[in-house]
Chain A
Amino acid sequence: MNELAITVIGPDRTGIVADVSEALAGVGANLSDSTMTRLRGHFAMTLICTGPSAADVEKALEPLSGLLATVRAVEPESEAGAGGEPYLVSVHGADRLGIVAAVTRVVADVGGNITDLTTRLTGPLYVLIAEVELPADSAEDLAVRLAEAADELGVEVTLRRAESDVL
């Protein structure tokens, strides 16, 4: 089974998701995981599909005008080992160059793995929220390092456990 990584981006408009997913369904592409979000008036879709060849999907998306699409064959997910302890990093402050780079580098340095990250800029306010998986017993160390990085950047940062309770 072909596994495809697809990105589609274009000016946001009503029906954009319906158009793209219809085109994909039309060539038998089965949508598995995806995120689709509006980013500053652009609508961005990142999807993993299985089914047809990359060429078939490219051809199916071509008639959709105004959309920039990439299609690439990828290897199916390898059975990755257990994640880590789930944490949330929140950062907010005045926008400046390098906030994401500095914060994510600190996370990487303690062996933390980012599983989801969103940034938003509204007026002068910059906000970053990241879901991270941390190696056991690294949270305290990371909290200290994040505080140092935040000091240098002049932003606020919090690290908290993303606890979930099974019911």
Chain B
Amino acid sequence: MSPDGLPSSDALADWKPDVLGVEGRVLPVVTAPAEVLSRVGAEVDPADPEIVQLAADLVATMRVSPGCVGLAAPQVGVGAQVFVVDVTQHPKTATSHGTFVLCNARVVEASRWRPGREGCMSVPDLTGDVKRAGRVVVEAVLPGTGEAVRLTTDAFEARALQHEIDHCAGKLFLDRVAGAHAVYQRKVYL
């Protein structure tokens, strides 16, 4: 808790996947159309050993997926409100909180809306133009300890958080595209 009694993001500063204390397994990534991707994820008990294992699995699966900056539980077939984010290597990142897993996350403030084109590992062949807030405040709890966090972020980390929180609510970027002409076939280019 911060001095004013509100949960702070300080807890995230020290947070590392190691604190989960379990080995993450690499899980297969589910792609649309899969029912689990369109279902509202269940709120979770962050201390539940299964959730701690899931958190570690999300980290491990993200790590082996090239270019992956975030992964939500529904994307590995689990309808739960848990996701991992790590945007540290991304060029559009301003503020970054490193690698972290959040449970039961909510966007409580959102501003500076701007368009951007995004894709998703669960919709591998399409991208779409989606408006996202460039600044958000997110409240959540950490897996394992259940410690409450309130984090303020911007730019690419803000976009990633909104995308993953959407996954936990059963929404894909396709549910938010800007118009009939705002979905694009994605060709692989390296």
Which residues on A are within 8 Å of B, measured CB to CB? 82-86, 115-116, 118, 131, 133, 162-167
How many B residues are at the interface, by size bracket? 20 to 34
Inter-subunit contact A167/B187 (CB<8 Å): no
Chief secondary structure at chain B's binding surface: mixed
Which residues of chain B come closer than 8 Å to A86, judged between CB atoms?
184, 187, 189
Of all chain A residues, the one with the shortest Cβ separation from B184 is: A131
Which residues on B are within 8 Å of A, measured CB to CB? 67-70, 90, 92, 116-121, 127, 156, 159-160, 163-164, 173, 181, 184-190
Inter-subunit contact A165/B187 (CB<8 Å): no
Inter-subunit contact B156/A165 (CB<8 Å): yes
**A-B CB contacts (within 8 Å), total count:** 56
* 6 CB < 8 A contacts A-B: A84-B189, A133-B187, A163-B117, A165-B116, A166-B121, A167-B69
A118 to B187, CA, bound (A): 20
Which residues of chain A come closer than 8 Å to B90, judged between CB atoms?
165
Inter-subunit contact B68/A166 (CB<8 Å): yes
Chain B nearest CB from A118 CB (Å) reads 7
Of all chain B residues, the one with the shortest Cβ separation from A129 is: B181
A164 to B173, CA, bound (A): 12
A145 to B189, CA, bound (A): 24
Which residues of chain B come closer than 8 Å to A85, judged between CB atoms?
189
Which residues of chain B come closer than 8 Å to A118, judged between CB atoms?
181
> Which of B119, B181, B186, B189 lies in contact with A167, CB distance below 8 A?
B119
Chain A nearest CB from B187 CB (Å) reads 3
Inter-subunit contact A167/B164 (CB<8 Å): yes
Apart from the given pairs A165-B90, A167-B118, 5 other A-B contacts in the complex at a CB distance below 8 Å? A86-B189, A115-B185, A131-B184, A166-B121, A167-B164
Of all chain B residues, the one with the shortest Cβ separation from A166 is: B119
Inter-subunit contact A167/B117 (CB<8 Å): no
A131 to B181, CA, bound (A): 11
- Assess A164 versus B189: contact at CB under 8 Å? Given A118-B181, A131-B184: no
Which residues of chain B come closer than 8 Å to A164, judged between CB atoms?
117-119, 127, 184, 186
